[in-house]
């Protein structure tokens, strides 16, 4: 099983969609709030500027797309 990390923040509809999808599929994921001090540090290391960013193992997905996520997660 691949490790999934969701970098998100409050009032982000795409982040909420990703969370709901993961929960509906029983996909365990780690949530990182990019507005918290530790979350900011970790997010800065990704090199991305916007959320949601989804990390699947060592690969990153910018934005949330079910098809793209499933390809990374199941690939």
Task: Specify the CATH number for the domain of residue 42.
Answer: 3.40.30.10
Domain range for 32 is 4-74
Dig out the tokens for 11 from the structure: 């009032």
User: Per the structure, how many domains does the chain have?
Assistant: 1
If pLDDT is split at 50, 70 and 90, which confidence band does 1 have? confident
Question: Does residue 75 have a pLDDT over 90?
Answer: no
If pLDDT is split at 50, 70 and 90, which confidence band does 66 have? very high
Q: For residues 6 and 31, give the distance between their C-alpha atoms in angstroms, rounded to a whole number.
A: 5
Question: Does residue 52 have a pLDDT over 90?
Answer: yes
Phi, psi of 10 (to 5 degrees): -65, 155
List the end-to-end C-alpha distance of the chain, in Å, as a whole number.
11
Q: For residues 46 and 41, give the distance between their C-alpha atoms in angstroms, rounded to a whole number.
A: 9
Residue-level length of the chain: 75
């Amino acid at each position: 099983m691949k490790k999934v990390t969701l970098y998100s923040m409050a009032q982000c509809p795409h982040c909420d969609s990703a969370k709901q999808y993961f929960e509906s599929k029983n996909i365990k994921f780690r949530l990182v709030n990019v507005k918290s001090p530790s979350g900011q540090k970790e997010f800065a290391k990704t090199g991305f500027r916007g959320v949601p960013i989804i990390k699947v193992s060592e690969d990153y997905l910018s934005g949330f797309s079910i098809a793209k996520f499933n390809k990374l997660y199941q690939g």
